[in-house]
Amino acid sequence: MNKNKQIYLIIFLVIILFTINYSFLDSLLINFFEGKKTAYVERVVDGDTIKIDNDTSLRMLGINTPEKGEKYYNEAKESLQQSVSNKTIELEFGKDKYDRYKRILAYIYFKRENINLELVRNGYANFYFPSGKDVHYIEFKKAWEECVFNNKNLCEKSYDKCAICIELKEFDYRKDRVVFYNKCSYNCDLTGWKIKDEGRKNFIFDKFILESNNNVEIKLGDDKNTKTTLFWRDETYIWTNSGDTLFLRDKDNKLVLWESY
């Protein structure tokens, strides 16, 4: 086969490949050219945000750390500072390279260690996949389970006497509705207890007693609270269709239970 025929054959095969599976090749090329790069960490903003080259903001993928003023905010930030401040790191991008605030989205590595994952394992972050589960989801969930087993920081179990009483009876994420049941023979004061998703959405129980062997329903809406139904207000939705987690915490922010889907 002469040289010209070889060139035409290669061009023809490339066209066929692009026609059959353009999205795959596009993804492959992005990962090859942009999948990983290095960056210098100029400053740690908080537990899941850093500033890299030329004051560029980077939001770490797969995690959500406490907000300023919340328990373990300082510890999460200090842990990240110790891991990456003034160091050259490697970045691994997901399917979306930027968030709505134009921050870079990435997993960050130092000496081949996934720093995002370590924050979850050490109880300074919960796992967080708002755009859907990616290839790292399973290992991040396992890191959280390990954290819960080791009773670390955000994973520390509640010692409230009612922590053993409250069961998640129903979790209908499609209708933004959950039901808790008090299985104990005594009433439980849930005042100050908190329901949280993987992100920033919070529901705080305001002066609420869940009586023995009774249910309480919490759902999205603006109606008047009753003895058995409470409303999660000021949100357009709570739980994402692509997967999310419910965390229930006591008034001291200790973990009572959690449930993922």
The DSSP-derived string for 13-54 is: HHHHHHHHHHHHHHHHHHHHHHSEEEEE--EEEETTEEEEGG
Give me the active site residues, please.
59, 67, 103
Output the pLDDT for position 7. 52
Query: How far apart are alpha carbons 62 and 210 in whole angstroms?
Result: 34
Output the pLDDT for position 28. 37
Q: Are 233 and 221 in contact (CB under 8 A)?
A: yes
Query: How far apart are alpha carbons 36 and 107 in whole angstroms?
Result: 10
Reading the chain (261 residues) residue by residue, the pLDDT tens digits are: 555 555 555 555 545 444 444 333 333 333 444 556 999 999 999 999 999 999 999 999 999 999 999 999 999 999 999 999 999 999 999 999 999 999 999 999 999 999 999 999 999 999 999 999 999 999 999 999 999 999 999 999 999 999 999 999 999 999 999 999 999 999 999 999 999 999 999 999 999 999 999 999 999 999 999 999 999 999 999 999 999 999 999 999 999 999 999
Output the pLDDT for position 9. 54
Alpha helices by DSSP H, listed for the chain, are 3-34, 73-84, 115-121, 137-150
Q: Are 235 and 209 in contact (CB under 8 A)?
A: no
Return phi, psi of residue 19, to 5°: -65, -40
All domains of the chain in start order, with CATH: 36-154 (2.40.50.90), 158-260 (2.60.40.1260)
Instruction: Starting at the earlier edge strand, list the strands of the sheet with 202-204.
Output: 202-204, 194-196, 245-249, 255-260
Q: Model's pTM, two decimal places? A: 0.84
Query: How far apart are alpha carbons 17 and 248 in whole angstroms?
Result: 49
Output the pLDDT for position 30. 39
Which among 104, 29, 110, 27 is positioned nearest to 61, based on CA atoms?
104
